[in-house]
Chains A and B, each alone.
Chain A
Amino acid sequence: MIIEKTFRQKFDLAVRQILPFVTALLAALMMATQTHVPRLNSLMPSLALCVVYFWSIHRPSLFGMGSAFAVGLIQDMLTGVPLGLNTLVLLLTRAGVATQARLFLGKPFSVHWWGFCLIALIAAVTSWVLAAVALGMIVPIGQVLASALFSALVFPPIFWVCSVIERRLLAEDP
């Protein structure tokens, strides 16, 4: 009986620890689904960036730099973009946002949103430069900026979903 309880506790702990990574990975995989919405796939918002931003502020201890690296790498492998592109962008986002987390914690949602808009813009420009270097060709910047704008627009629902997960499942820090 005691062994079963201990196992449950361990399992619960493990689930809590990997949950931020799983949500970020699912967000990255959702970006590769067919939406059937005209032109949306060309301007797909970076859902993974939204999730990485959220966990970097709220649970950096459960979403380390290794997690950001792994999610970015899987995304690169899957989408056929130059290898290392999303890996580096998500890694820099995780590192940069986590150091500034105290600016956002306890602040209203609008502060989070403005912060994310800035991060999405920086991430878009960084990706564009890295892609130009890696491909040796210039990708139309308009699409990259439009994708960043879409990311900013989808941020509120993703923030809400992540907040619910955090409240319900990660109520106590393991």
Chain B
Amino acid sequence: MKTGAVTGRWHSARLLLQRFAFVVLVMAAFALMLLGKADTILVERMRGVVVDLMTPVIRALSQPAGALADVADNVRDLANLRAENARLREENQQLLLWRDAARRLEAENTQFRSLLDYTPPPEAQTFAIRVMGDTGGAFAHSLLVAAGSKDHMRKGMAVLTGEGLVGRVAQVGRRASRVVLITDITSRVPVVLENTRTRAILAGNNSERPRLIYVPAGARVLPGDRVVTSGHAGALPPGIPVGVVSSVDDTVIRVQPFIDRDRLEVVRVVDFGLSGILGSLDVETRAAQAEAMKAARERGRNQRIKDSQPPAAEGAEP
């Protein structure tokens, strides 16, 4: 009888604890949401640690899918071998013509540069890295790549393929990093239409075809127009291919990116040496910039005070 009462009390206490745990965990989940908005640096570090820890497992889990995809690719390639060969021959002929044109233009360019005494910008540093995971889903478009801070990866670096812009490095762990794709809902890339030089912002919306926003009124945008980076905001250099305008209607202009997300295996990370927008800087850089701006404001104020004072008469006592 006594044992039964003790068991009953123990059961009630356990039930109470479980209910209490549920409330605490729900509150903790909401607290995490607030933390994610408020303290981005701490959250980024935590994300970096998790990416580092979990990436080896994801790499191992990706192997079977990768092997199957390779087999499927091989079968498809074998089936299309003859047609592919013919296409490549034709493309090769065109590329030879382009090569001649490029050599001619390069020589001309060198000549003009020497005439103008032009100092070229420093060359970008590039390194190739393997894609290990696609953290897909409806709420975020990003990739996990096999390079981190020990490989000199930094937040904000541009990620490209031979086809065009993939995205930007968003989180850096020690051995792995996360790249936010240009189709992600948080991605905003300053772009320009190559032919008309119309500026706009490429805004991701978690679909395969991001939108162009802030297009100037009256701008002529047509399907098929090439979209390249504009270089504004100092985040990316100008001229990186992004995609082509795929559809235009009264309210929405959509862009088909050049990259094929499902076939990304190796990407190039490029350090253009650009400072980037404020959002992509680390704490120390932000603090240094704030100091510099404060000093500049101070200098400006002193200058204004100096300018507003009447000029001292010549030979007057100081």
Given A77-B51, A83-B43, A137-B185: A33 and B32 interface contact (C-beta under 8 Å):
no
B61 interface hit (Cβ, 8 Å)? yes
* Contact A40 B136, beta carbon cutoff 8 Å: yes
Contact count band on B: 35 or more
Asked if A134 lies at the interface with its beta carbon under 8 angstroms from chain B, I say: yes
Across chains A and B, the number of contacting residue pairs, with CB separation under 8 Å, is 165
A14 CB-CB contact with B under 8 Å: no
Contact digits for A120-158, partner B, Cβ 8 Å, 1 yes 0 no: 000000010011001101011001101100000000000
Kindly state whether residue B194 has any CB partner on chain A within 8 Å. Answer: no
Please tell me which one of the listed residues A44, A80, A82 contacts residue B171 in the complex, with CB atoms under 8 A apart.
A80
Contact yes or no, B138 A34, CB < 8 A: no
Using A36-B69, A42-B138 as known contacts, say yes or no to A80 and B178 having CB atoms under 8 A apart.
yes
- Which residues of B are found within 8 Å of A66, using beta-carbon distances? 21, 25
User: Is the Cβ of B22 less than 8 Å from the Cβ of A65?
Assistant: yes
The segment from B203-211, B216-224, B234-242, B272-280 that touches chain A is: B203-211
A139 CB to nearest chain B CB (Å): 5
Smallest beta-carbon distance B136→chain A, Å: 3
Known A37-B262, A44-B137: A29·B58 in contact at CB below 8 Å: yes
Q: Contact: A80 with B65, CB < 8 Å?
A: no
Proximity string of chain B (9-48) to chain A, C-beta cutoff 8 Å, 1 when within and 0 when not: 0000000001001100110111111011100000100110
Instruction: List, sorted by A's number, 14 A–B pairs whose CB atoms are closer than 8 Å.
Output: A32-B54, A32-B134, A32-B135, A34-B134, A36-B65, A40-B262, A41-B134, A42-B137, A69-B25, A80-B47, A80-B170, A83-B33, A143-B206, A147-B137
Residues of B within 8 A of A (CB): 18, 21-22, 25-26, 28-33, 35-37, 43, 46-47, 50-51, 54, 57-58, 61-62, 65-66, 68-69, 72, 131-142, 144, 170-171, 178, 180, 184-186, 205-208, 261-264
